[in-house]
Structures are given as C-alpha cells and as structure tokens.
C-alpha cells in the first residue's frame, strides 16, 4: 500500500465530469506539461511550479502537493455514480506523464479498489514510462493534434514523432482501450485534409474504435491575462457547427472509426 503515499502536484479535482471518458467521472488535473499549445484552455496547467493567477480580480494559488491517498478520498465520494454510469477516475493535465510515479500510483490505487480508470494524455514520454502505467489503465484518451511534424512543432513547441510512435506501441500492446481525440483548431487543424490524415493513422492502430473531434473554444482566454501572459490566438473563432459536421463525415468516409463531436 506504499503507493498511497506517493506525492504529486495537482491544480484541480473536478467531479461530475460527463464529457471525458465513459459515464460520470472525477477528473484529477495534474500540473506540468511538455507542450505549449497556443490554444490551450488550461494555461495554468503548463508550468510545474506553483503559480498565482488572478481570478475575477482576486489572486488564486494554482497548484498544491497531495498524496495519492488524499486524492482517493475525493474520488471515493462519487463511487455510487461510477457504479451506476460506468464512470470512474480520469487523469488529465497538463500531461499526466510528466509525473509518472504519481500517475501510476494514483491509477493503481483506483484499480485496487475497483474504480475504472482513464487518462487524457499526448503520450509524450519515454515508452518505459507509459508501459509502467498500462497495467492500471482501462482507457487511454490520447490526443493526436496533427500529422505534420513541422506544423505540430510550430503550434505546440514539439514535433510529433515520439507521440505517434507511442500511439502505435500502446495500440499494439492491447493492454488498454485506446481512443483518439483531436482538437479542431482553426488555422491549425480544421481542414478535411488534416483531419483525414489523423483519421487514417488512427484507423490503422489495432483496437482503436472511436475518434473524438473536439471543437476549439475560447473559455480559457481570460486565464492568460490572469497569469500575466498574452493569448497568441486572439482572432480565431470556434469552428462552425457545419464545419464540424463536414469533418465528421470526412472521418467516416476515410476510416472505419466511430466519430463523435465533443467529448
């Protein structure tokens, strides 16, 4: 039971999440990320360091260090809802794999008491790290943002080779359910060609059955100001509903995947 004492840094626990994974879930947001996506709606997740952010005119401390046991105390509270809905615990971030021991032990703790687990992640980590987590993970919600390495680097700060490679390995391992999630960001990834490329890649991954197209939104914009940062995409608008439908059709025409708009 040593895993219960592992410490990690989180910035929020959100209950009654119904848009990330199956059923009613509790999301634990881990602090720290390897990427710097320009559209990121949780900019306070990117730095590992504890920060102060202005929220509605008041300073708020973002980030706290907790043990696995402390997180589990909150996760346990909604057990009746998981049981009825097929929900459970979801790790999100940031990139959960930036805190590999904490992520592994938190997932372990949930599995040990019969709670379903999921993780939102770009799989931007060494394969050994990912492999250590797989025994405790029921559902890998993996982001694939773009197939073009250069464009990927330009908008997120890193190229995509490692992530794509890991996606193949995760799928090949057959040890977890893998779903692909694609942020649809105008000027970055909202053309049928770009979405088709991702869909065709995902379609070839063994065991992958579904793909989610997540329309860009601006709900995180104020947080940049709160952190004293500049939002670099101030002029783009969320994709129109018709565009999302068109992209959904593109996925369905070019792959055997089940496609859903939104989480």
Piece in contact with another protein (CB under 8 A), picked from 76-84, 103-111, 165-173, 230-238 = 76-84
- What strands, in cross-sheet order, belong to the sheet with 210-215? 64-67, 7-17, 25-30, 88-92, 116-121, 139-143, 177-184, 210-215, 258-261
Q: Could you please report the per-residue DSSP string of 132-187? A: HHGGG-SEEEEE---S-HHHHHHHHSS-SHHHHHHHHHHHHHTSSEEEEEEEE-TT
By the 8 A CB rule, do 223 and 43 touch? yes
**Of 43-51, 60-68, 77-85, 89-97, which part binds another protein (CB under 8 A)?**
77-85
Is 32 or 87 the residue whose CB approaches another protein more closely?
87
The answer to whether 139 touches 207, Cβ cutoff 8 Å, is: no
- Least distance in Å: CB of 18 to another protein? 5
How far is Cα 245 from Cα 60, in angstroms, rounded to an integer?
Answer: 39
**What is residue 232's three-state secondary structure?**
coil
Measured from the CB atom, the residue of 82 and 140 that comes closer to another protein is: 82
| Between 77 and 249, CB nearer to another protein | 77
- Per CB under 8 A, 81 contacts another protein: yes
Q: What is the SS3 assignment for 61? A: strand
Binding positions for another protein, 83-102, rule CB under 8 A = 83-87
Residue among 78 and 95 whose Cβ is closer to another protein: 78
Measured from the CB of residue 81, what is the shortest distance to another protein in angstroms?
4
When the beta carbons of 28 and 97 are compared against another protein, the nearer one is: 28
Q: Which is nearer to another protein, 74 or 129 (CB)?
A: 74
Q: How far is the CB of 26 from another protein (least distance, A)?
A: 8
Per CB under 8 A, which of residues 23..42 are in contact with another protein? 23-24
Quick check: 221 binds another protein (CB under 8 A)?
no
Select from 136, 156, 132 the least CA-distant residue to 144: 156
Is residue 77 a contact residue for another protein (CB under 8 A)? yes
Binding residue for another protein, selected from 66, 68, 71, 78, defined by CB under 8 A: 78
How distant is the alpha carbon of residue 23 from its chain centre? 16
- Using the rule CB under 8 A, give the single segment among 27-35, 50-58, 74-82, 201-209 that binds another protein: 74-82
201 binds another protein (CB under 8 A): no
Q: Which residues pair with 104 in a beta bridge?
A: none
Interacting residues with another protein (CB under 8 A): 14-16, 18, 23-24, 77-78, 80-81, 83-87
């Amino acid at each position: 039971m040593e895993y219960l004492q592992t410490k990690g840094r989180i910035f929020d626990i959100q209950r009654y999440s119904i848009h990330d994974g199956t059923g009613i879930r509790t999301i634990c947001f881990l602090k720290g990320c390897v990427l710097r996506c320009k559209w990121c709606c949780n900019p306070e997740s990117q730095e590992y360091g504890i920060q102060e952010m202005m929220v509605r005119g008041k300073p708020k401390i973002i980030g706290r260090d907790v043990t696995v046991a402390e997180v589990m105390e909150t996760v346990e509270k909604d057990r009746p809802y998981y049981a009825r809905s097929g929900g459970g615990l979801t790790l999100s971030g940031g990139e959960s794999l930036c805190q590999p021991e904490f992520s592994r032990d938190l997932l372990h703790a949930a599995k040990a008491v019969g709670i379903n687990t999921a993780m939102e992640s770009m799989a931007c980590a060494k394969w050994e790290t990912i492999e250590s987590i797989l025994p405790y993970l029921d559902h890998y919600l993996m982001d694939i943002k773009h197939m073009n390495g250069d464009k990927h680097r330009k908008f997120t700060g890193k190229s995509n080779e490692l992530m794509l490679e890991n996606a193949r390995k995760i799928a090949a391992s057959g040890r977890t359910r893998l779903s692909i999630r694609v942020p649809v960001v105008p000027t970055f990834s909202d053309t049928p060609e770009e979405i088709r490329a991702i869909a065709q890649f995902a379609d070839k991954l063994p065991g992958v059955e579904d793909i989610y197209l997540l329309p860009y939104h601006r709900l995180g914009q104020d947080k940049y100001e709160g952190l004293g940062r500049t939002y670099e995409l101030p002029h783009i608008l969320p994709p129109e509903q018709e565009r999302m439908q068109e992209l959904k059709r593109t996925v369905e025409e070019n792959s055997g995947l089940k496609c859903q708009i939104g989480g």
